[in-house]
Structure 1
Amino acid sequence: MDVLGLIMAYLPTPWNCTSNRFAIIRHLQENLTSLRQTRDELENISKDVRSMVELAEQQYRKRTNQVEGWLERERRKLEEVQNILEKGEQEIQRKCLGSCCPRNCHSSYKLGKEVIKETEAVKDLINKGKEFKSLDEVSEKLPPPPVDEISVKKTVGMESILNEVWSCLDDHEVSVNGIYGKGGVGKTTLLQKLNNKFINERRDFDVVIWVTVSKEVNLDGIQEVIRYKLDIPEMKYGKVK
């Protein structure tokens, strides 16, 4: 029988404590262990949720307010739990007969109740975190940007022809403008600069689509680029029985 057990046997109501209060004090160390284990489980689930959120953001998706709120609550809760665990370790170290005075028992009881309460709060966060099972549950699709910036190498002496091509876009009677020339003279670079110019000078266009067409035309690939930029939902095909 431990020290607290002896006290309970011979002093059943020393400071007006009920048996339930003594149980909370007596099992403080066990409850601290339980809190530490649930804390570890919450941290593991949080890592999984954050990995999903990072993957979603790499795919140009935005994290939902719900998952953002959960991550913030999880962060704050882990800080609170860490403080309680530190207090618990200090209390355990002081737990001996010489320190078992009314004030210390009250302190252990108060801390024990806090440990139990925090354990339940952590479990609630764990259950909520388990609901985030897919990208659609942690993020929402963002509309594609009107213009995708393209990395362009530095050039010299191309501004004049760039401005000339840019001015051609103001001719609303012409629906198609073409650039031609020998290979290697800078046609692709010129078009890349033209594409990026739309970022700050939008003109009358809602969207700019950059599509690369190789000698071996991949029609499905071209259509997929256009579908994405126009934010057209992907169609699912199936056999009709």
Structure 2
Amino acid sequence: MEKLGSILEMLGPIVELGKMIWAPISEYYNYHKNAGELMKNLKRKRQELECGRSDIESRIGAELIPGKRRKKEVELWLLNVETINGEIETIEQEAGRVKYSNAHMGKIACKKIQKVEELMNQRGGFVDSLVVDPPISRGDVLPITTIVGESTAKRTLEKIWEHVLGEDFRKIGVYGMEGIGKTTVMKEINNRLLKETDKFDNVIWVTVSKASNVFKLQNDIARNLDLYLSKYEDVTLRAGKLNIALENRKRYVLILDDMWEAFCLEDVGIPEPTPTNGCKLVLTTRSVEVCNKMSCGNIKIELLSEEESWNLFLETLGRDVLNTPDLEATMKEVVKECACLPLAIITIVGSLKNVVHASEWRNALEDLRTSIKGSNNIVTTVFERLQFSYKRLKDEKLQHCLLYCALYPEDFKIDRDELIEHLIDEGVIERMKSRQAEFDKGHIMLNKLENACLLEGGSRLEDESR
């Protein structure tokens, strides 16, 4: 008996070892034996999942009215379905051209079936609505420079503010020549409205620009509302969707910056602002005719006074220059040539920051006068003064860099690294010993353009310098 007990005791581990060995062998055999059936089953399960996805997308299409978005869990489910479908497609393709063992294919198919079944079970949990109201932002705070002209600009700003809050005008047109500071003033209004939470529910800022049309304007406004119109091509249908989304925002101020031509509000999908809906429309433009065609109450942005122009010049350049003898008279002549335009003053000062000696200032003044033809055309007036700053760069590579930036759409936030990549590819930045050296060169060039006030911080080209 003792011998038998000893034998059984010895056999115990052997039996356990046999079980351990047999389990994977049995599993391998089952995968091998049932591989074909498992692949067929996987195909059926995938078809069921596709039907489920189609049903979910149909429900979303019915529920996704303007102003709503899909639930995050639904988006994740659809993403997982797309992923598993891609994996199954790959398996089916590889099964046809790669010599896998039946056991290997059977094992993979079994695991994918389990994942598909999990997704089907999750779909069963979508009993409520598949969409929700997104958290609505009241608007975006915009970066602004200091309002120049303590009397003229501030007085105009307060007048616009009174019109926005008042009941006399539902549509307000802010007009003035290029480079006078319309956008800067309206950015201040935008930010002030966001602080006054009891006045309006939403503040929507849209840069329109010269290249705009009804279709593009619809896209620009929709983007600010988290509304996606890309699947709609018919302008009238798009206008209807946009109209509903705007009405859902209740009391809003819609700011259309840099309008070059008038638009019919109905064609775009903008509800007519009325005392009943409590909405306001504010547009900025170079042309008073655009304001009149849009039936606006008009406010003109006036030029800076000579005193304000001189103060802006000193604030931008630095008042220390007054400590240098014999410069003030020449500098005042330079300011005079800037035609009381804030943009012209800022950009010209940027090109003269390194000028120290009186002779250099006199020479710069003569160059500036030579570049100005005395045109009465508004656009030409600004362009001639910007061209002076462009020529003062005196570096062909820097000039090419600035011109390349001008190819981007207006108000486009240019990624520095991406821009430098393009400048390298275009040969504006020459090939160097290392990629890091090339990027360093690119950053130096962009910094110089920013210091010259020809690029905004963050590598965004100054609006009016286009």
TM-score by length of 1: 0.50
Structure with bigger RCO (C-alpha 8 Å, 6+ apart): 1
Which structure shows the higher strand fraction?
A: 2
TM-score normalised to structure 2 length: 0.28
